[in-house]
Amino acid sequence: MKRMNILASFFSMLCLGGIYAWSVFVPSLKTDYGLSGAQTQLIFGLIIAVFALSMIWAGSLEQKIGAKKLAMISAILFFLGYGLSALSAGNFFLILLGIGIFSGIATGFGYLMALTIPVKWFPEKKGLIAGIAAAGFGGGAVVVTLMAESLFSKGYHALNIFMIIGMTFGLILLFMALFYTVPEQSGTEVPLKPGFLKEKKYLMLLITMFCGTFSGLMVIGNLKPMGLVHSISEQILAATIILFSIANFTGRIVWGWLSDFFSNRLLVLIALGSLGVSTFLLGFLPLNSLLFILLALITGFSFGSNFVLFAKETAQLFGVSNVGKVYPWVFLGYGIAGITGPLAGGWLSDIFGNYQYASLAASLISLGGGVTYYMTIRNDTA
């Protein structure tokens, strides 16, 4: 039973995480349907914001209807969102509604179930289990990128691929929902203070989650066009997106494993520091293919840390039994970054024709978040 929950969680995350391959669709949406860079990034940013907000709603819904039914609703909304976008004929507002809102809610519902249920089954290995679950989300872009690039080469456009994703992944999500079960409470539940949103430890988690995800989301939403600025070939760009996703996937497991042995506070500083440096270099160095791939790997690996370290930190500071209640509020930082990060990248590139200003801003935010968290939070437990 425990293992089935982990497998269901991983494969559900794999489907939901395909949104991280968004930059693969950007050129087609621009060329074939006339969307601007800012519009493509607003769609990506909105799904991240709705994803984060809907997790708060998911926490209360789970208590009313149960994890299995909530995961089924996630699957249905995912199919409807991508289906509506596929039938939009390129209308920006319909794509925004379908992918940005419908599939955004689906992602929030499904993500919370897939992350919190395995952690409840394995409270003694919070870091590793959260890393495995979150790794699926990071690896979803590998699957979608391979699928999309293959279909693009055969003459498909973005909207055709949206329909295939909606139908295929929607069915997988629905099937995986059948395996979710929640363990009985052990009787060691930690009481949650009503005013926890005003507590310093929560506010620092929220702010640092924003700082840590802003850079990565800016890069994810613009990775392919960032490479095109340096005249990097389409084949290398497609490979880089896949490698970024593999690094993101791997990073979540490795950071989760490390967090079971070392201080989260130190790991946050290291992860956000390396993320800030790699993001800066992506915008300011004259890049060849090898250097572009290397910096993308570092960025993806460091970015993956956010979804493990802060999930575990939430469990440590507020109790495992309260993760489903508190973590969605921490995840709001990711939602804010989802709107501002990719949109800033698209907007600034439209104005200046490069990604230097966006990279500088993202780098400073990431570095500042890591240093501030390290200096503020006094939590040295493993």
Instruction: Using alpha carbons, select from 218, 295, 307, 210 the residue that is nearest to residue 254.
Output: 307
The DSSP call for residue 154 is: T
Provide the mean pLDDT of the chain: 85
Angle between helices 289-303 and 200-229 (to 10 degrees): 160
pLDDT tens, residue by residue, 145-190: 889 989 998 989 999 999 999 999 999 999 999 888 777 665 555 5
The DSSP call for residue 36 is: -
Instruction: Using alpha carbons, select from 225, 245, 233, 365 the residue that is nearest to residue 296.
Output: 245
The DSSP call for residue 354 is: S
Q: Where are the domains of the chain?
A: 2-183+195-376
Q: Tell me the pTM.
A: 0.75
pLDDT tens, residue by residue, 300-345: 999 989 988 888 888 888 877 777 788 888 988 988 887 788 777 7
pLDDT average, residue stretch 43-50: 85
Tell which wins on pLDDT, 185 or 362: 362
In this structure, are residues 88 and 159 in contact, taking their beta carbons and an 8 Å threshold?
A: yes
- Was domain 2-183+195-376 assigned CATH 3.40.50.620? no
